[in-house]
Every structure is written in C-alpha cells, then in structure tokens.
C-alpha cells in the first residue's frame, strides 16, 4: 500500500535533510573554518606554531606600505589583459567545431581538445620551463630556424630594448628581467583552454537552428553570424569565463613559482600577489602577515568580480 502524497513529500524532504546537513558540516569544516582561521590569525604575529602575539591592525598597516605586494598587482594587471585576449582562440575553436555539419567530426574534435587535460598540469609547466631553456629550449630553436631571431635583434636595436636579443647569444627568457613578462604571456601557446572551449561550445549548441536559417535567408556572412548572433548569445558563458579567469589569475602563483622561483625571477619581475603571500608564509615564516595579505587579495577579487558582473551584462 502506497503512502499518501503528503507523507511521500515529507519523507522526500527528510531524505534531502539527511544529505544536506552533513554536506553543510563538511563545507563548514573544510572551507569556512580555514577562512575564519585566516581572519583570526591576521591580527597576530604568528609563525605557524603555537606561539602568537596579538598585534591588532599592524599586519594590515604593514601591508598597505608593502611596495612588493602592491607592485605585484601591475604584473597581475598585465596578465589579466593578456588572458582576456587568450580567450579568443578558445571562442574561435568552439565556433569552428559548432559549425561542422558532421556530428561525428564534432565529437572527435571535442575529444582532441579535451585530451590534453589528461596530462597533469605540473608536467605541462615543466615542459614549458624546458621550452624556455636558453641552450636547449624549443623556443630559441624555433626563432633561429625561422629567422625570427634576426627580426627581434633588429627590433631590439631600433626600440632600445637593452640588448635582450643578441646575435650568437641564446636568449635567456627566464633569466632576463625584460623578458619575464613576455615569457609568462607566451606560456600556454596556442592558448586553447579545453574547459573554455567546452563551455563556449555548450552555449553555441543552445542556439536554435531557426536563428541560423533566418540568417542564411538574409544572406548573412559567416563573420556577421559570429558578430551579431553567436557572440551575443554566448555572453553568459563569456562572463562566466571572465570571472573564473580573473579569480584564477589573481589567486594563482604556481606558474610563477615553478618557472621563476619564490622571488619571482630576476628583479622580481614575475612577482604576483599570491606568490608574495606564499613567500612571506613559507620562506619568511610570517604566517600572520601572509593571512593579512590574503584578506587584501580577497577584497580585491571581490571588487573586480562585482565590477565584472555590473558591466558585462547579458540581454535576456
């Protein structure tokens, strides 16, 4: 005999509570507790052990005067702008796959795009570090074989870059202060993010076929289709990717740490806020000060996310 509908709903709700409450407890323990701990310890002179000294707002006052920390935001600003342009290849690839008539070829192209995700990111970083090697790296070999090295040498002389490109001398991409930022921008070429391609492709596939049929009847060119139909209709996905990109770029420091070390490379040119926070915590032993830096970084990310949500609007 089946239960009344009201009792079935009540039983279903209790089952939901049975799974939701433990999940919230796990989130509180593994997400909110470390955050609250960081806020608490930001008011202390703390080296990571049991001993700590309450110093009030001294860590925050010191952070406001930290030239390395705030100077690192200039590097981040350059990388954020570069990463915005790096989204273009992913959008272009998603559009090309979407426009394939054969569903079979669409499937295989998606597989080929996703396949590099199997390779651990740590391995990818070390491969790129080898690419930048001045003596055996693939980048310098490519420049020599294609003759682009000669153009860079000529540009160096014309624009006064300080002799970073010289004839007969290997280019030290990670050892020359002026080349650190260009090396960080070049990293990841051709900048096809598998996650980005799949997200943009999902947005494109939600566009109705009648929209394309109407565009074909009006004689719209392929580029006009992208400009007036496809791109406006995937703005939700674009906004999502911009938010994720900004958060990842502002928080990230693994790339800089593995390529350049804990000091951000020569002259600290590759220093980013996350790396300086990591440096203060694990190399200087100033965990309380690192927590204060993390709160400043959190506030900065929050403000940028709010600005992004306000100005990148999606028309319904």
**pLDDT tens string 218-230:** 888 888 889 888 9
Say what the pLDDT of residue 313 is: 61
Average pLDDT of span 306-313: 74
pLDDT in tens, 265-297: 998 999 999 999 999 999 999 999 999 999 999
Q: With bands split at pLDDT 50, 70 and 90, how would you rate the model's confidence at 211? A: confident
| Residue 316 confidence (pLDDT) above 80 | no
Q: What are the structure tokens assigned to 88, written together?
A: 């273009």
Average pLDDT over residues 145-155: 90
pLDDT for position 188: 87
Parallel, antiparallel, or unpaired for β 52-54 and 44-46? Answer: antiparallel
pLDDT category of residue 309 using cuts at 50, 70 and 90: confident
Q: Summarize pLDDT for 43-90 with one digit per residue, the tens.
A: 999 987 788 899 999 999 999 999 999 999 999 999 999 999 999 999
Domain boundaries, the chain: 5-60, 68-132+173-311
Q: How far is CA 81 from CA 85, 87, 113, 173, 270, in A?
A: 7, 10, 24, 21, 15
Q: Indicate the CATH number of 68-132+173-311 among 3.30.410.10, 3.40.50.2300, 3.40.50.1240, 1.10.3720.10.
A: 1.10.3720.10
């Amino acid at each position: 005999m089946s239960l009344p509908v009201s009792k079935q709903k009540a039983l279903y709700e209790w089952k939901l509570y049975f799974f939701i409450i433990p999940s919230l407890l796990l989130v509180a323990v593994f997400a909110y507790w470390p955050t609250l701990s960081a806020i608490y310890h930001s008011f202390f002179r703390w080296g990571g052990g049991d001993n700590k000294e309450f110093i009030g707002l001294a860590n925050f006052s010191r952070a406001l005067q930290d030239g390395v920390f705030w100077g690192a935001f200039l590097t981040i600003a350059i990388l954020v702008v570069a990463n915005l342009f790096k989204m273009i290849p992913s959008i272009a690839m998603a559009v090309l796959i979407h426009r394939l008539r054969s569903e079979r070829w669409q499937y295989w192209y998606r597989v080929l795009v996703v396949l590099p995700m199997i390779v651990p990111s740590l391995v990818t970083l070390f491969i790129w570090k080898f690419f930048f090697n001045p003596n055996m790296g693939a980048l310098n070999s490519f420049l020599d074989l294609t003759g682009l090295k000669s153009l860079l040498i000529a540009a160096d002389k014309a624009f006064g870059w300080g002799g970073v490109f010289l004839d007969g001398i290997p280019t030290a991409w990670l050892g020359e202060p002026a080349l650190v930022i260009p090396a960080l921008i070049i990293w990841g070429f051709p900048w096809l993010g598998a996650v980005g391609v799949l997200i943009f492709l999902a947005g494109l596939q939600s566009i109705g076929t009648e929209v394309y049929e109407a565009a074909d009847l009006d004689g719209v060119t392929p580029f006009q289709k992208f400009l007036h139909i496809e791109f406006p209709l995937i703005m939700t996905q674009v906004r999502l990717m911009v938010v994720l990109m900004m958060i990842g770029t502002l928080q990230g420091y693994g790339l800089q740490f593995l390529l350049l070390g804990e000091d951000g490379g020569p002259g600290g040119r590759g220093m980013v806020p996350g790396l300086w926070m990591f440096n203060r915590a694990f190399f200087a032993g100033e965990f309380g000060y690192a927590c204060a830096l993390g709160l400043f970084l959190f506030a900065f990310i929050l403000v940028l996310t709010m600005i992004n949500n306000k100005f990148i609007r999606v028309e319904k």
